[in-house]
Structure 1
Amino acid sequence: MKRVLGYVFLVVLAGVFVMTGYTKVTGAEMMIDTFESFSYPTWTMYLIGALELLSAVGLLIPRTRILASGILTFILIGAVGSHLIYAQYAAIPLPAVLLVANIAVLLVSLHRLEEEESNMDMDIVQA
């Protein structure tokens, strides 16, 4: 049951990044306005959107989960920071919640990797 909930959580999280990445890649007016309000070049919106889409897929693949989560964590730190710097306080909750969720995925994934490596070491010692 615990594993099923974990996968459901990952699918929902990936779905959120598919939606946010899609709005950036397709050049949604709201995203253009947001990036212009930050004085960021428009190409950064497309780059971040593409990274979000790729990382959303990466979250669902165990071998790429740590990398994807790490990339998304950096993107979300930038999002929260940008909204803070430009006093867009109402926009902070979503990226802040996603940041916490990504950090949780990153920590759990790193813990599982550490356990797998420890088990492999034990197998080598026993052989």
Structure 2
Amino acid sequence: MDRIKSYTLFAIKAVLSCAFLAAGGAKLYGVEMMVGTFEMIGLGQWFRYLTGVIEVGAAALLWVPGLRAIGAGALLVTMVGAIIAHLAVLGPSAMPAAVLGLLASAVLYAHRHEIGRTRA
């Protein structure tokens, strides 16, 4: 049973990493759709860059022992923001963000023992 949980967690982290490396990379690269999306949000393009850095950085943290909970938490908070942006400004297509948020929350739960742990 532990092996199944381990493989499942690995698969979830792999999916999250691929999704957020792609989405964050597109934001940082300045893909036209991302530029337009953040223009609609109205906070400026600096917010697109910030979101891209958070997504790419958090995806990497999912694989660093001791920092996996921080990475998952950052992705979860980012997806909560994405859901709010979709419902308030962009339109009702918040389901992908909700699914990614649920996956991030599963990783956060799995690594909850790392929260508050000090690194030596």
* TM-score normalised by structure 2 residue count: 0.86
- Which of structure 1's runs of 4+ aligned residues deviate more than 6 A? none
| Structure 2: 5+ residue stretches without partners | none
RMSD: 1.6
Q: Does 1:23 align with 2:26?
A: yes
Q: Measure, in 2, the Cα distance between the counterparts of 1:109 and 1:10.
A: 12
Higher RCO (CA < 8 A, seq sep 6+): 2
Aligned partner of 1:42 in structure 2 is 45
Give percent identity, aligned residues only: 29
Q: Which has the larger radius of gyration?
A: 1
1:79 aligned partner? 82
Cα separation, partners in 2 of 1:62 and 1:33, compared to 1, 3 Å? same
Asked if the contact 1:14–1:60 (Cα under 8 Å) also holds between the matched residues in 2, the reply is no
Q: How does 1:54-93 map to 2 (within 5 A)?
A: 54-86=57-89, 88-90=91-93, 92-93=94-95
Residues 87 and 53 (structure 1), Cα distance of their counterparts in 2 relative to 1, 3 Å cut: closer
Partner of 2:109: 107
Whether 2:56 is the aligned partner of 1:53: answer yes
